[in-house]
């Protein structure tokens, strides 16, 4: 069980923000935090933050990679070992395009569409790196509910853009 009460979305988003603060500030990425929760048991299955793992890793990607390693499966096969009702919390909308060539986080979430029922987002992705993030629509089209958790946007965007050059 999580110490966070079931359904306290703002508290889960605060935990995501704490994860994001662990990410190193860089001008070429957002500092994002993510938490994957089993809704049935209110258990945190994995946390992640941008650049937590080697490579140009995003927060959601780190969650899934760590969970795949824990279960001894590839990330591609992770859906086969996960509970059927998960929620993903992420400080910033999952990316729909990766300039680095890595698999976008939206596509990683879509691979788990049988388990991830809802994605809670603290802030929509600014258009700094990708002009039009189509991730929200892609997720909704796959039957995944998108919920904006309000109240932390200012803090989230300050943390996300730390290290960026202000023009």
Residue 165 lies in a domain: no
Mean pLDDT of 126-138: 67
pLDDT digits (tens, 9 = 90+) for 32-60: 999 999 999 999 999 999 999 998 999 99
Is-catalytic flag, 60? Answer: yes
Residue 115 lies in a domain: yes
The whole-angstrom separation of Cα 138 and Cα 106 is 8
Render 102-131 in DSSP notation, one character per residue.
Answer: SPPHHHHHHTTTTTEEEEEEEEPPPSSS-S
Q: What percentage of the chain exceeds 70 in pLDDT?
A: 93
**What are the structure tokens assigned to 35, written together?**
């938490």
With a cut of 60, say whether residue 129 has pLDDT above it: no
Domain hosting 37: range is: 9-160
Mean pLDDT lowest among 44-53, 74-83, 92-101, 128-137: 128-137
Mean pLDDT of 98-119: 90
Residue 167 lies in a domain: no
- Domain with residue 137: its CATH number is 3.40.140.10
Q: How many domains does the chain have?
A: 1
Catalytic residue, candidates 18, 52, 60, 93: 60
Dihedral of CA atoms 94, 125, 90, 17 in degrees, nearest 10, equals 150
Residue 156 lies in a domain: yes
pTM of the model: 0.92
Residue 15 lies in a domain: yes
**pLDDT at position 52:** 97
**What are the structure tokens assigned to 117, written together?**
């029922």
Residue 32 lies in a domain: yes
Residue 39 lies in a domain: yes
Residue 1 lies in a domain: no
User: What's the pLDDT band for 29 if we cut at 50, 70, 90?
Assistant: confident
Mean pLDDT lowest among 6-10, 44-48, 81-85, 160-164: 160-164
**pLDDT at position 167:** 45
């Amino acid at each position: 069980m999580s110490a966070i009460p079931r359904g306290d979305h703002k508290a889960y988003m605060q935990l995501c923000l704490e994860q994001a603060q662990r990410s190193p500030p860089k001008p070429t990425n957002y500092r994002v935090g993510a938490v994957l929760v089993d809704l049935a048991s209110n258990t945190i299955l994995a946390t992640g933050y941008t650049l937590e793992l080697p490579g140009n890793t995003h927060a959601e990607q780190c969650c899934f990679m760590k969970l795949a390693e824990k279960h001894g499966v590839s990330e591609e096969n992770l859906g086969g070992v996960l509970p059927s009702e998960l929620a993903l919390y992420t400080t910033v909308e999952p990316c729909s395009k990766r300039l680095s060539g890595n698999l976008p986080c939206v596509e990683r979430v879509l691979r788990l569409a049988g388990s991830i029922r809802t994605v809670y987002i603290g802030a929509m992705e600014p258009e700094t790196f990708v002009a039009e993030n189509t991730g929200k629509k892609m997720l909704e089209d796959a039957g995944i509910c998108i919920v904006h958790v309000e109240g932390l946007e200012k803090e989230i965007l300050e943390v996300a853009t730390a290290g960026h050059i202000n023009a």
